[in-house]
Structure 1
Amino acid sequence: MTTLVGHRGAPTLRTENTLPSLRLASDLGADAVEFDVRSSSDGTPILLHDRTLERFWGVPRTPGELTLDELQRLRTGDPDERIPTLAEVAETVPIRLVVDNKEPALVPAVAATLWAVGALDRSVFIGEWQVLTVVRERLPEAEIVLSWVGPDLPPDDLLQSVRPQALNLRFDSLTEQSVHHAADLGYRMWTYCVDDPAATKRALAWDVEGLISNDLAAVRPTLTNANRS
């Protein structure tokens, strides 16, 4: 069964990595939501992709320079949109959580937060090997999806260190041969970002398991029809 993943929620409709965006992704039929985690200055895991707050929040500083209270006072212009904590997301978003933690040192806090709210068993860890190596050491049974720029797969020593269950290759560099090679090695394949019906059909024809999408409304009908056939 194919897993449809909202990329930072539903970013074409609401500001990425906010609770309204993540909840809307669930409403639009996503099976899971992917989001990015960084730390406030007081060590709280919060959602943000970029290294600084400038693009959406208008502050040319890193989140690690502001306290949680300062971060949560920031607004996009929409009073419902603010920077959420990981705990808030885990408590209120009911579908699978695909966690892209950007900071290796934050892994213990992320794991502890997910465990405390009972969401660890529905969490998947995705992203770069530097963080995922720490995740594997801290959480030996974790479900891990290792991101990589293809079409070549990660080297064997890295795969042995991270021990992912799946690989995540950019769709614009993914090939059918990449998918088959991964399957031969025992790895499932995810890809990002799939944002239109034609790309969805191609990914399904290649037996890609996880589709990460910015435009869930454009992708879901094709996926639904394929599941019915």
Structure 2
Amino acid sequence: MSLKRIWNALRGATNEGLEAVADSQSMRILDQEMRDAKSELEACDRNLTTIMAKRKLAQTKVESLTSDIDTYTNHAVAASEKNDEALALECAERVANLEVQLATEQEIYNSYLSTETSLKTNIAKAKASVKRLGIQIDQVKATESLQKAQVAGSSHHVGANSKVKTALDSLERIKEKQALRSAELSAAEELAAEDNGSCLDEKLKQAGIEPGGQSSGSDKLKQILAQKQAK
């Protein structure tokens, strides 16, 4: 292999290693960003809660001032109807002061309400974005884990096939050795039978002759008659 090819191979392996490190680092960065985003959303929720509480207080003040204005307006009318102009004027002045306070509190209330509405909208959008990002991160992690499992499974499958083949080869060798041993034992038995003369007896049996066996009844009768005539 030329030096150029070696260099290209090393450079390719280095690039793959760097990419793997970069990918791993990117996942850690995304995880940290997710944690930071969730932390910020929690802070936003707390701020929103504070804004909503202040809006409710401002709303209560507006409602109270509105009620007081209605009350003192009615008092001014009642005093005027009784020809008590001084009391009617005093009630009217109170109404005027309350209306000034109401205008201020109404402005504060409107500001809190606007901020609350805006925060709710933006927080909802941010939560949706974080949720989508979380789903994508989970999908990437799940796919990565699945692919690693598939790679490991494929490697184990190849290894398992190789081990099975080796085991089968060993089994065949064992069978061959056993067959050879059986043949050797059979041959040894044949040799032993020949040495004992049993081989000839076996041949006689196969020919229908019983070596060393008893004679039949007719044979024995002929033998007896022949002996009698000889006497």
Instruction: Please classify the TM superposition score into its range, dividing by the shorter chain length.
Output: under 0.3
Structure with greater proportional helix content: 2
Structure with greater proportional strand content: 1
TM-score (norm. length: structure 1)? 0.16
Greater RCO structure (CA 8 Å; 6+ sep): 1
TM-score (norm. length: structure 2)? 0.16
